């Protein structure tokens, strides 16, 4: 997931680490006592692109953002947590517009340049008066630190998620930074959760969309916590050209380096989401190879990653490889039972579809750490896919059986 490229240097940072961005996060009263309103602003209108949930019950902000991003331009994004503004009817659209309008007025920019996002409980009207009343204080709090914004977008998250990287383009350096939230309702069909990435590179909107799609398909589209795709999933990228480097051109080495950097930031944020999965004690990498196609490899991995029986076995550090085989067998992928091989770490426990008992003790030891790697070889072709999932235990049930309380 984390990209290796000679031009990359991983640094500590957030959405404000690239030149020309400010951010803030405050408490406006949606939650009882925690930050719940964030704002990210570029100093000038920027190229912008987004990817959104494929859930048919999409939130009002998702639908409005898609329409706004047809222009390929944005300058700010205002995000609330604690309320998803989804399944709220016409009022939800009015409230999303009111959020954007309040931020635009306080910033002195066009409303069409302000994106919105909401995350939290589905089906409850947004307390829009609290949000709009807090916008002047939110704008006044804008500064160079993005950590407050990362805290303000959290719901059941245990920790804020931030990442940044410097990319050497050969003729100059650009920076990419990001924040994200997500711990439950994580199973992307495009992206997942809420993520905002920024860069000071010069990238025209069509190429920025292409870069975002490439990065998301290798990162946010490769994780699962509980198999549920949210109504609000949103990934945004803004590029403001503030680094002064020449505009990127499709297909050249500079563009490839940029995509590697964007993928690195997205990948680290995505893995943090899995690590923060509600009740997670283990992050499990599932690498499928030897599939008839890449699509088959993805299908096989997704079935294993979302199997409740597989995930609970990992929670108990139990070497029950039969659950993995069973999940493979019901996946849409082409499977030949006599060719399947399964490894825990570098220890193969299944060959030709049959267990290798003498390797079980060594494999068992590899199931206890907080990070576990599973390799599945289908023996049918060159298709590959690597995804990340979490284990599943009683804490997840406790959190989600009392989510509204």
Active site (catalytic) residues: 192
Alpha carbon distances (Å) from 377 to 104, 158, 301, 319, 320: 53, 35, 11, 18, 17
Three-class SS string for 129-162?
A: HHHHHHHHHHHHCCECCCHHHHHHCCCCCCCCEE
Closest to 384 in 3D by CA, of 279, 285, 263: 285
Place of tokens 């069509």: 206
Q: Which residues contact 216 (CB under 8 A, 6 or more apart)?
A: 51, 188, 190, 191, 235, 266
Under a CB-based contact definition with an 8 Å cutoff, are residues 77 and 115 in contact? yes
Q: Is 112 helix (H, G, I), strand (E, B) or coil?
A: helix
Alpha carbon distances (Å) from 188 to 96, 129, 193, 270: 23, 32, 8, 11
Strands 173-181 and 21-26: unpaired
């Amino acid at each position: 997931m984390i990209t290796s490229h000679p031009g990359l240097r991983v640094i500590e940072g957030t959405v404000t680490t690239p030149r020309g961005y400010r951010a803030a996060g405050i408490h406006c009263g949606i939650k009882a006592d925690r930050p719940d309103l964030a704002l990210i602003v570029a100093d000038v209108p920027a190229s912008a692109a987004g990817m959104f949930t494929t859930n048919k019950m999409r939130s009002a902000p998702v639908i409005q953002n898609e329409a706004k991003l047809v222009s390929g331009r944005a300058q700010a994004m205002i995000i609330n947590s604690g309320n998803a503004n989804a399944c709220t009817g016409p009022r939800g659209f009015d409230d999303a517009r009111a959020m954007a309008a309040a931020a635009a007025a306080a910033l002195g920019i066009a409303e069409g340049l302000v994106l919105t996002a909401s995350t939290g409980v589905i089906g409850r009207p947004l307390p829009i008066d609290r949000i709009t009343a807090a916008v002047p204080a939110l704008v006044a709090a804008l500064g160079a630190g993005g950590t407050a914004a990362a805290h303000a977008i959290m719901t059941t998250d245990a920790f804020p998620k931030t990442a940044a990287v410097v990319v050497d383009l050969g003729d100059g350096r650009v920076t990419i930074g990001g924040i994200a939230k997500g711990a439950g309702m994580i199973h992307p069909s495009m992206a997942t959760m809420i993520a905002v990435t920024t860069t000071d590179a010069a990238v025209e909107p069509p190429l920025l969309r292409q870069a975002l799609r490439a990065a998301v398909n290798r990162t946010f589209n490769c994780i699962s916590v509980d198999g549920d795709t949210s109504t609000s999933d949103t990934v945004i990228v803004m590029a403001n050209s503030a680094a002064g480097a020449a505009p990127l051109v499709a297909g050249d080495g500079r563009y490839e380096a940029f995509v590697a950097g964007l993928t690195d930031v997205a990948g680290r944020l995505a893995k943090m989401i899995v690590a923060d999965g509600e009740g997670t004690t283990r992050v499990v990498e599932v690498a499928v190879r030897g599939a008839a196609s890449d699509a088959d490899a993805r299908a096989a991995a997704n079935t294993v990653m979302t199997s409740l029986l597989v995930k609970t076995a990992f929670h108990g550090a139990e070497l029950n490889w039969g659950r993995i085989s069973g999940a493979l067998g019901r996946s849409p992928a082409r499977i030949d039972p006599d060719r399947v091989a399964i490894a825990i770490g570098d220890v193969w426990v299944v060959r030709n579809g049959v267990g290798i008992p003498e390797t079980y003790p060594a494999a068992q030891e590899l199931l206890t750490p907080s990070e576990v790697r599973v390799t599945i070889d289908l023996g049918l072709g060159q298709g590959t896919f690597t995804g990340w999932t979490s284990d599943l235990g009683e804490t997840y049930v406790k959190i989600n059986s009392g989510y509204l309380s």
